[in-house]
Copies of this chain bind each other. A is one copy, B any other.
Amino acid sequence: MKIGILGTGMVGNTIASKLVALGHEVMMGSRTANNEKAQAWVAQAGARAHAGTFAHAAAFGEMIWVCTAGAGTLEAVHAAGPANLDGKIVVDVTNPLDFSRGMPPRLSVVNDDSLGEQVQRAAPGARVVKGLNTINCNLMVDATRIAGDHDTFVAGNDAEAKARVTEILRRDFGWRHVVDLGDITGARATEMYLPLWLRLYGALGSADFNVHVVRPA
């Protein structure tokens, strides 16, 4: 499949590399067509790796992954061009973390809205699926780093889009437990989990962790 990645940071790089390794044609998009990090990724990731602007990547991909820092997510979606996203599955793995007041970051969106919903509103024709935003990127693409049971979450308004993303998570990224949190407003829940993730990161001294939802037998 042809896949567009918005974002050239660690998350975009990790997801793009995984998708190339799975055999997909992947274009990494950024503000400019000659972004250094995107060029470096192409040089290292091989013949199925491409780079371009956000709009190039959005037009190229049959499916789009939004992997920017939270502060740049909406700008990236606007630059991608909502028309380039029409009808496409758009997987939003971002978090509305605001580092402008120092550490720990605050959430710039809470309660009655979420970055996932903002992405959906910015690209109304897209089939946005919020997912994977509750774990470190290495774990996103390889759930088997943790041997036991643990969970990831999806939320979105399009049931078929969620089912297809869930299939990718299960088959390609190793996720055994994908919990459907309902429509895109479920993004509020997973984004507001970030402060606990950050605190656990501090307590555990490692980003290599996740949670498993457990119930009585």
A interface residues (Cβ-Cβ under 8 A, vs B): 106-107, 110-112, 145-150, 153, 179-182, 186, 188-190, 192-196, 198-200, 202-204, 206, 208-217
A111 to chain B: which residues have CB within 8 Å? Answer: 106-107, 110, 195
Tell me if A181 and B195 are in contact (CB < 8 A): no
Q: 5 additional contacts, CB 8 Å, given A146-B214, A189-B196?
A: A107-B192, A146-B217, A192-B195, A211-B213, A212-B212
A145 to B216 alpha-carbon distance, docked (Å): 6
Interface SS, A side: mixed
> Which residue of A190, A200, A209 has the most chain B CB atoms within 10 A of its CB atom?
A200
Tell me if A212 and B215 are in contact (CB < 8 A): no
B110, B181, B216, B217: the one within 8 Å of A199 (CB): B181
